[in-house]
Structure 1
Amino acid sequence: MTLMLTPHEPATLILPVDAPGQVQTDCADFNALLQYKLARADVVEAGAAQARATEGGCRLAESLRLSRQHGPGLV
């Protein structure tokens, strides 16, 4: 499957990996990540949802980090 992410979705994906409590789970970017199964919303205290990256989302976030460190085409 080919993923077509908007420029904001990779940033939205990296946040649950680095800071799970900092992502709004009711925004369009996060909903797109849910559809691609790159993120999930776990219910925590008082019924609030907390963003989490799935295994696939973690792999993609790591690839994005490596491409930023080493430049395009080296990952």
Structure 2
Amino acid sequence: MQKLPKVAIDVVDVKQVVVTPDPAGETVVTIEVVGGQMVELHLAPHASAKLEAFLSRASLEQAKLAPIQ
């Protein structure tokens, strides 16, 4: 299988996250990129769960470096 190049996108803002109540449904994340273009990311349920786990771990690690005072 041919390996495709990575695409780097500079995200300016996260505008909206829509999570369906259906466990088999997708999550839609709307982001704004440099230049004002809006991009929708449609995540399958397993991708959404994986992103949530990564963000939770990142948040825990960040909290260790800068605890709330």
TM over 0.5: same fold?
Answer: no
Which band: TM-score by shorter chain? 0.3 to 0.5
**TM-score normalised over the length of structure 2:** 0.33
Bigger-Rg structure (1/2)? 2
1 or 2, which has the higher helix percentage? 1
**TM-score normalised over the length of structure 1:** 0.31
